[in-house]
Structure 1
Amino acid sequence: MDYFIIIAPKLVSFFLLIVLGFTISKLGIFPKNCLPSLSAFLIKVVLPCLTVSLLCQRGTTWVDLAGFHGIVLCQMAGYVLLAAVGLLCVKLARIQSPTSNVHVGCMVGGNYGFVVIPILMALYTPENGQQYIPICSAIDTMMVWTLGLYFFTRGIEKDGEPWYRILTKRLFNPILVSIVLILTLNSLSVTLPNPVLEVCNNVGNISYSLGLIYVGCTICFLKKGSLHCLKTLWMLVLTKLFAVPLLIYILTGPFLPETERVVLMLIAGAPSMTTSCMIANQYGLDEDYASTAVFVTTICCMVTIPLLFLASALFQ
């Protein structure tokens, strides 16, 4: 019950912002032809600014990541496990491309910033638990924008396009470039000028509200019959929000202390990231499926996160 009380206010604000996005699109304030521009703005400008802002504030370096190698390696393995289970579900449910791309991508990418961090802040002190927040944030961003982006875009390349050009386009996305750059600058003790940091802070801060408003806009424009995807989304809810996180908690028992196991469980069990909709839009994928997945998993995590804590208590 304590965990429900922690996340409930946050999820209510999520819901209200999604409703706001739905409403302004229904009223014609934000028409459908504006969504591609909003999506590009969020991915290419807002999210890189948020990455720079967070990592500069915390001063996270490559050495910091190496110092927490245990939880870092297990966290990376967790994303691989999520992707593998996503691929298995796609095969069992016979989900066709490009919806299958979105399903696996939504398995890998979770809402770390707006669900996991508030819970960790409430559960742990700065010395015992909160020190993992910037470390896991850096790994989360890197894995989502490498492994996650790969599964989102797998198989959509133009025929005959050289492999190195495909690899370059995937790796040199604005978000991944920004995180590598800032980790390197932090490692070299190079600080950005205050005016630059202030701009990054201000622009990055709108990612939370604007991202969820965007989800609401996309839900407004769902095609007729799009809710058929609810038949396969139950697999996403069951595996991403409960089965895989609990499995990660159990498997890491012999290697990691209790706090790190809980952190990894929460990261794996976070609802699908709001940027799934934007990625689907940018690459011409099934945006309806992405929007519904984000909405459904966000609502369902109010139930699954308390259940995870109850179930994990059996394996302590």
Structure 2
Amino acid sequence: METELAILQEQMVSFFTLLVIGYAFARTKLVKDEVIDAVPSLIMRLVLPAMLLAKLPVAGTPEQLLHMGWVLLAIVLMFGVHMLFAFLSGKAMGLKQPTLNVHLAVCGLPNSAFVGYPLLFILFPDDTALFMATYMIMDTVMLFGVAPILLNPAGRGEKRDWKVLASPTNVCMVIAMAMLLLGLKFPAPIQATLAGIGDMSKPLGLFYIGADIARRGAAKLLKRWQLYGMLPVKLVLAPICVFWLIHWLLPVDDMHIMMVGIMAMLPSMITVCIQAKEYGTDAEYASGGLLVTTVASMFTMPLVMGWMVRWLG
């Protein structure tokens, strides 16, 4: 585990560098706004689907996937703890609707796609694909089920667009899971090409975050004091609570405890900002939450993971 901690510390430097590059490119107008705006769609419609098709079919055997039940329960517990902490902290800070619901989404949903999966593949290259196949079951429920319910303004009569369930990411996840269960694999050249595309998720995602911070203006996004009250809850208290509960309640091995723990300490999900803007809720709070949690996580993740490593021995 000490090796993984050292790798994580190195990755935090890489993450921060990519954020600064994105910020600098946007501030100096070296990249146009329309290009920046296209990055999330590119990741969600091409890069992540390619990652799924490259990684999941070779993640393991059907028998191994079926034995991930306790890990899936640990992931469910992780989301439950985060949503509970988000609700309690939002109420304690006196947030009102629709900001309270935005706070629940910002505090309760981790940035798995742009930060979590790439990080896990670096830390646990031989075991992440099978974990990701399990994690994406709950991740999809939260992203396309819970998040739209939270962020779609109540009382305005909007109809939910269930076509989001047929997104390229979900379709490719189904295809990749079917290939895993049937033991099918792509030819080596196609496999390598898909893997190369999938590896772009980290640099593109962090570049976008940095560029979007520059465009929106950090000072404007940081004026809400509740964002700072959220930081210790989301990035420290909730991950530690998740770690304790899984460690004491579930028969999950140390490696998977660490994997779930890492997902629990991630910054906020970029998609929350996109959905908040689309549905007309408090998009400024969502963007501020993305900014403060992304920057703060560069410091909190090594600290919290270091504590977990020392506890597991």
Q: TM-score range by the shorter chain?
A: 0.7 to 0.9
Correspondence list, 1:42-61, <5 A: 42-59=43-60, 61=62
The residue identity in structure 1 corresponding to 2:181 is S
Pairing partner for 2:293 from 294, 297, 301: 297
Per the alignment, residue 272 of structure 1 pairs with 268
Partner of 1:112 in structure 2?
Answer: 116
Structure-1 separation of matches of 2:213 and 2:148: 22
How many residues align? The count is 302
The CA deviation at 1:219 is 0.5
1:218 partner letter: D
Task: State the match for 1:306 in structure 2.
Answer: 303
Residue 67 of structure 1 deviates from its aligned partner by 0.8
Gapped regions of structure 2 (runs ≥ 5): none
Unaligned runs of 5+ in 1: 122-129
How far off its partner does 1:218 sit? 0.4
Aligned amino acid, residue 50 of structure 1: M
Q: 1:189 to 1:178 in 2, by over 3 A?
A: same
Structure 2 counterpart of 1:124: none
Aligned to 2:197: 203
CA distance in 1, matches of 2:234, 2:211: 25
User: How far apart, in 2, do the equivalents of 1:272 and 1:161 lie?
Assistant: 25
Residues 5 and 305, structure 2, Cα contact 8 Å, conserved in 1: no
With structure 2 as the length reference, what TM-score do the two structures score? 0.80
Q: Is the 8 A contact 1:249 1:312 kept in 2?
A: no
Over 3 Å counting, the alpha-carbon distance change for 1:58 and 1:283 in structure 2 is farther
Q: Shift of residue 193 of structure 1?
A: 4.4
Cα distance in 2 between the residues matched to 1:189 and 1:34: 39
Which residue does 2:91 correspond to in 1? 91
TM-aligned CA deviation for residue 51 of structure 1: 1.8
Identical amino acids, percent of aligned pairs: 22
- Give matches, 1:1-316, under 5 Å: 5-59=6-60, 61=62, 63-96=63-96, 99-106=99-106, 107-110=108-111, 111-120=115-124, 131=127, 133-154=128-149, 155-156=151-152, 159-160=156-157, 166=160, 168-194=162-188, 196-223=190-217, 225-229=220-224, 231-252=225-246, 253-257=248-252, 259=254, 260-274=256-270, 276-277=272-273, 288-301=284-297, 302-307=299-304, 309-310=306-307
How big is each residue's C-alpha offset from its partner over 1:105-141, in whole Å with a ceiling of 9 and x where there is no partner? 33222432244444456xxxxxxxx64x223212333
| C-alpha distance in 2 between matches for 1:159 and 1:276 | 19
SS class of match (1:262): helix
Offset at 1:30? 2.2
Deviation at 1:149, TM superposition (A): 3.6
Rounded to whole Å, the distance in 2 between the matches of 1:236 and 1:297 is 9
Instruction: Give, as a single letter, the amino acid of the residue that structure 1 aligns with 2:257.
Output: R
Instruction: Determine helix, strand or coil for the equivalent of 1:228.
Output: coil
Give the match for residue 127 of structure 1. none
Rate the CA distance shift 1:185–1:304 in 2: closer, same or farther, 3 A. Answer: closer
Cα pair 1:271 1:298 within 8 Å, conserved: yes
Q: 1:36 to 1:71 in 2, by over 3 A?
A: same
Provide the C-alpha distance between the structure 2 equivalents of 1:285 and 1:161, rounded to a whole number of angstroms. Answer: 13
User: CA distance change for structure 1 residues 209 and 311 in 2, over 3 Å: closer, same or farther?
Assistant: closer
CA shift in 2, pair 1:216/1:312, >3 Å: closer
Task: Report if aligned partners of 2:272, 2:286 keep a CA contact under 8 Å in 1.
Answer: yes
**How far, CA to CA, are the matches of 1:304 and 1:246 in structure 2?**
11
What's the CA shift for 1:298?
A: 3.7
RMSD of aligned alpha carbons: 3.3
